Amino acid sequence: MMSGCSDPTSQRRGSERFTTWGESFVEFGIPAGDGEGGFIDGWAVKYRKFLVNFHEIVVADAAGHVAAKLDQSRFVDNTKRGEKELVTFSNLDAKAYTLVSYQIKPALAEAEIVGDADPEDLAMMVRDGLSMYVEGEATKPNPDDSTQKRTKTFRWGFKTQTSYLDCHSEENGIATQGVVVTTNKTDTSQLTTHGDHFYYDSLQSGDNAKPTALRFEEKAAADDGPNGDGDGEVTLSELCQENIDPDVYNPSGLPGSTIGDFVISLARTVGHFRGEGECTVKRIDPVPSGVENPCDEYP
């Protein structure tokens, strides 16, 4: 279900189409690399599942008048190849809509399953109250034996409820706030999910900030360390017991002092707009009483 409205006297109308994609990192994996285009510590990650629940895609003009809104949530697995269709809002007045937003929140049983996502995965997400779930395998070559690899698996479910507001992008050197609907045409906005964000070592950006790198070694060590069970699977519980090394990670004002706190907070930054475009990220779920750090919500 979706809702939309437009001025019936206007003949200048077009459509706005919303899709989602995980980019190559989600579809094909994240390699070892220089820290920006791959893991700086020699690890590589391959996703088996990258489940996301999209809610309330909204298109509004600068005055806040809502032209279209997605009423029924969408459930996707972005490891499935290619862009997935979320919704197309037709018969919109042809003009700029500078206020575009969407939400990633826990799954609903009545969500529309998009593409080849598994209905059993949706049922799991609803049962566990999850908004996102990622599952995969990390590997690293053994420097002493090229035929051997270190291997760690992970299954991380997130309960985060996040709004992505005031979405904007830059394409071909042109910055656009929101979207522009043109007469008799369909404009496409991709709600991109960035699979590398979980592994950032910093939440800061900008010219004066330390360059952000992708890291997995400390996460693997959480399973091997004194608070881990060494079973080969890195859990959020183990990450929530592994303190951040301030010489490696920059908390950037993040509440909490563990790698788990860091990863859970980074989960809110996964959503983007039209590729590398940004939105204002805002927590919409209230902080439960007695909770000080993100890990406190993940017993």
The span from the CA of 129 to the CA of 113, in Å, is: 17
Give domain limits for the chain.
2-193+271-297
Confidence of residue 210 (pLDDT cuts 50, 70, 90): low
Q: 0.85 exceeded by the pTM?
A: yes
Query: How would you classify the pairing of strands 233-234 and 44-60?
Result: unpaired
Please provide residue 21's backbone torsions phi and psi, each rounded to the nearest 5 degrees. -155, 150
- Residue 82: its pLDDT value, please? 94
Burial class (CB in 10 A: 0-12, 13-18, 19+), 245: exposed
Structural contact between residues 53 and 131, judged by C-beta atoms closer than 8 angstroms: yes
- CA 239, 242, 244, 245 torsion: positive or negative? negative
Mean pLDDT over 63-91 rounds to 96
In SS3 terms, 246-290 reads as CCCCECCCCCCCEHHHHHHHHHCCCECECCCEEEEEEECCCCCCC
Confidence of residue 221 (pLDDT cuts 50, 70, 90): very high
CB atoms within 10 A of CB 150: 15
Q: What is the pLDDT of residues 105-155, one digit of tens each?
A: 999 999 999 989 999 999 999 999 999 999 999 999 987 777 788 999 999
